[in-house]
Structure 1
Amino acid sequence: MGEKNVCGVVVLVMAYGLAITTLSRAQIPSTAQVPSICNGYQPLLFPCQPYLIGSLDHPTPNCCDGARVAFQGANNGEAIKKLCSCLVSVAPYLNFRHDKLVSLPPACNIHLSFSMDHCING
């Protein structure tokens, strides 16, 4: 009877460990989740993630620096379209909130030549 209890506890502990490991890995975004259209936007995407998912009320200086570089590169119609496509496609995978994406440029004191609301919400 004691061996059955020990085996049951071992199986339960193993199942619990597997569940915890799976949940932890699922919560951490990987670079594999970032589509190739987002190449070059990593300085915006990853440093800004705590702000864009809502963990922080204000973006960090590192986030604003990366955002500034990414937005400066969006200086013509094709580049703006690429940036917008990247943000729209990656937002669900990295759990970005649309309202935070729209508020990022003003929060970093970045003036855009295009509407971020239109970029994100179509």
Structure 2
Amino acid sequence: MGEKKVFGVLMFVMVYGLAVTRLSYGQIPATCNGDEKLLSYCGLYLINNVANPSSDCCNGASDAFKRAMAVPNGQGIRDICNCLRVAGSNLHFHPDKLVSLPIACHIQLSFSMELCVSGP
């Protein structure tokens, strides 16, 4: 009987922890229009709560980066980099995790993620 209670409490704590640490759309800055999935699904990875990004995170990141690279004249890249700098600061993302995200998700970029995150 005691084991069931301990297991129940443990499950509650785990679910509550995920609910609290997953970013809601309301926490995402307006500068990140269209990049909500990347930031929301990658939140646990980017704040250093998990060692590897989830498949949802990688899918959201892949979509956001592809969309950014498809915009002519580099404006999409500038927009996503601005989003990541603002969101990263506001949401306490680790810069090294932002830089490593494309590598961890096996995403090929046409720009330097390090320059993107640190700025010109």
Tell me the TM-score normalised to structure 1 length: 0.73
Q: Give the match for residue 58 of structure 1.
A: 52
Runs of 4+ in structure 1 deviating by more than 4 angstroms, as ranges, are: 26-30
- The answer to whether the Cα contact below 8 Å between 2:98 and 2:117 also exists between their aligned partners in 1 is yes
Where in structure 1 are there 5+ consecutive unaligned residues?
A: 1-25
Cα deviation, residue 34, structure 1: 2.2
Q: Which structure is richer in relative contact order (CA contacts within 8 A, separation 6 or more)?
A: 1
- The answer to whether the Cα contact below 8 Å between 2:24 and 2:40 also exists between their aligned partners in 1 is no
Q: Give the match for residue 87 of structure 2.
A: 90
- The answer to whether the Cα contact below 8 Å between 1:102 and 1:117 also exists between their aligned partners in 2 is yes
Q: Give the match for residue 71 of structure 1.
A: 65
Residues 28 and 58 of structure 1, relative CA distance in 2, 3 Å threshold? closer
Q: Give the match for residue 37 of structure 2.
A: 43
Q: What percent identity do the matched residue pairs reach?
A: 45
What is the identity, as a one-letter code, of the residue corresponding to 2:64? A
Larger radius of gyration: 1
- The answer to whether the Cα contact below 8 Å between 2:21 and 2:43 also exists between their aligned partners in 1 is no
Where in structure 2 are there 5+ consecutive unaligned residues?
A: 1-19
Equivalent residue pairs, number: 97
Superposed CA RMSD in Å reads 1.8
Cα deviation, residue 29, structure 1: 5.0
Cα deviation, residue 27, structure 1: 7.2
In the alignment, is residue 34 of structure 1 matched against residue 28 of structure 2? Answer: yes
What is the identity, as a one-letter code, of the residue corresponding to 2:55? P
- The answer to whether the Cα contact below 8 Å between 1:29 and 1:93 also exists between their aligned partners in 2 is no
What is the identity, as a one-letter code, of the residue corresponding to 1:105? P
Q: Distance in 1 between matches of 2:51 and 2:111?
A: 24
Secondary structure, aligned partner of 2:41 = coil
Residues 111 and 27 of structure 1, relative CA distance in 2, 3 Å threshold? closer
Cα deviation, residue 30, structure 1: 4.8
